[in-house]
Copies of this chain bind each other. A is one copy, B any other.
Amino acid sequence: MRDPEVNDLETSVRNVPAGGKRELRLWLRLLSTANLVSGQIRRNLRAHFDVTLPRFDLMAQLYREPNGLRLSELSRRMMVSNGNVTGLVERLVQEGLVLRETDPDDRRAFVVRLSKEGNARFTRFAEENERFIVTLFQSLDRATMDALMDNLEKLKTSARRNATD
């Protein structure tokens, strides 16, 4: 009987997949999956509620922080640049969905939170959005979802640990 280790070694040399290494293919699959789903969610939110995905995401962050967040904390959580958040908040304030107030403790900072109207609107957005996502994912069994949760977390940990910056 052959040593499975040898087999593994051979496989790793011989079985070079089209499209490059395992890691590269995994990255491409992760990206295309996220793109596919985010496109579907974006179009659904726009069609049903005339709201864009970035605005929805921003409101989602504020929804779970009734006392509000600083712009810097918001941009950190959304993983986008500060300047981007400045503009998004500006438009949401214009629409009356978000309030932007100076932080009493630090005159450099602003604290933003959902307005009453913003809170009410987001509640409706979120309900439909969750229903939509459950529908999209309905062919997955629980074990698959749990495995994805765990393994995506491992991927994040690896990417953070091995970052060059």
On A, residues with C-beta under 8 Å from B are 18-27, 29-41, 43-44, 64, 79, 126, 130, 132-140, 142, 144-145, 147-149, 151-165
- Chain B contacts for A149, CB-based, 8 A: 25-26, 29
Given A44-B164, A133-B24, A137-B23, verify A37-B153 contact (CB < 8 Å): no
CB neighbours of A79 from chain B (8 A): 32, 35-36, 39
Contact of A159 among B36, B158, B164 (CB under 8 A): B36
**Which of B22, B25, B126, B159 touches A142 (beta carbons < 8 Å)?**
B22
- The count of identical subunits is 2
Q: Are A34 and B31 in contact (CB under 8 A)?
A: yes
Let me know if A29 and B152 touch, CB within 8 A: yes
Chain B contacts for A158, CB-based, 8 A: 136-140
